[in-house]
Amino acid sequence: MLPYGRQSIAESDVEAVTEVLRGDWLTKGPAVGAFESELARWTGGVPCVAVTSGTAALHVAYAAARVGPGDEVVTSPLTFVATAATAAMLGARVVFADVQPDTGNLDPGSAAALVTPRTRVVTAVDYAGHPADYDELRTVTDGAGALLMADAAHSIGSAYKGRPVGSLADLTTFSFFPTKTVTTAEGGAVAAADPERFLRAARFMNHGLIRDPAEQRHPGEGGWHQEVHTFGLNYRLPDVLCALGLSQLRRLRRFRARRAELVARYHLMLSDVPGLALPAQRAYVEPSWHLYPIRVRDGRRREVYDRMRAAGIGVQVNYLPAYLHPVFEDLGYRRGLCPVAEAYYAEELSLPLFPCLSDVQQERVAETLAGIMS
């Protein structure tokens, strides 16, 4: 089965991991700092803290934003459920705003209509690697006195109006799952320009521990002493995985270039196939394409999905609108809440896209799809 996404591991990655395994550090050591510093080069200098997954990054970022009971978080339903679930687990009420019909990104107009004095955060999702409309969303959050957050799990290396993802929002989260552009096997990161929010993120992902005597309530116990002032969790990304991530980041430009080349080829091969809508791209955006999301018209998505997979082509659907998961249904969310997102989901199909996808394999995907649609 040709997968819709997969990791691209080179010998340099293996050597980087092996070097750490032969050293003194497996958990939090020098490779963590090196990885965070290299990642900050891609965020325009905004500092980053590495964590154990993209989901952990969302949890840490919401905690750094002080999201809690009584707060509201406005976000897109067209995302993996963790974008909303992590806010709900902190006690917030999740408010789903609709998406733009072409990009699948959060619609600033829909978000603006839903913010209230209780809105703590508006979280955009860079669907498929295409950055959301951050200037318009910033106007929404500034008017509401809320923070702007970017779920950039798909979009590392992307730019919006010449500015890198990671510098566009108050908090940005990344994911390094194997299907993403860069992988640490499992892993994620949070970028935060504000020093206080960055410190809260760094502490939350490490149990809330405070080791500096100048900040402790009861210093003087001894060199071993550490304190917890606010609860946190263990979301530390270990040295061995950061070594893999650092090696991967050094190839990010090549990964992005190959994905862009594959997207251009899909555009060319599929532009005349009836019954399809191809992904949109704003003129002012430089995406890092994580997905190639087509829309299959005329109610044929299920048929095309089944026939493509029967042909050995592992297409995927991204995503069931988050509020249609039973956990949100049980909280009172209902179908029809975001009709544009539901319409997008009903037609969406992700074609295989990853750097080591060969031209021959891609041609097979396009030819098989064209044959089904003819």
Catalytic residue list: 180
Closest listed residue to residue 340, CA positions, set 111, 81, 94, 50 = 111
Which helix (H) or strand (E) segment is 16 a member of?
A: helix 11-21
Question: What single-letter DSSP state applies at residue 352?
Answer: P
Distance of CA 231 to CAs 8, 27, 368, Å?
37, 21, 53
Packing angle, helices 239-249 and 11-21, rounded to 10: 150
Contacts of 30-35 with C-beta under 8 Å, sequence gap 24+, read 30/239, 31/239, 31/240, 31/242, 31/243, 31/246, 32/236, 32/237, 32/238, 32/239, 32/242, 34/242, 34/246, 35/184, 35/237, 35/242, 35/243, 35/245, 35/246, 35/249
- 77 touches 323 (CB < 8 A): yes
Q: How many residues does the chain have?
A: 374
Bridge partners of 121, per DSSP, are 73, 147
- 42 touches 166 (CB < 8 A): yes
CA 246 to CA 35: how far, in whole Å? 5
Which helix (H) or strand (E) segment is 137 a member of?
A: helix 134-144
Sheet containing 159-160: give its strands across. 163-164, 159-160, 285-286
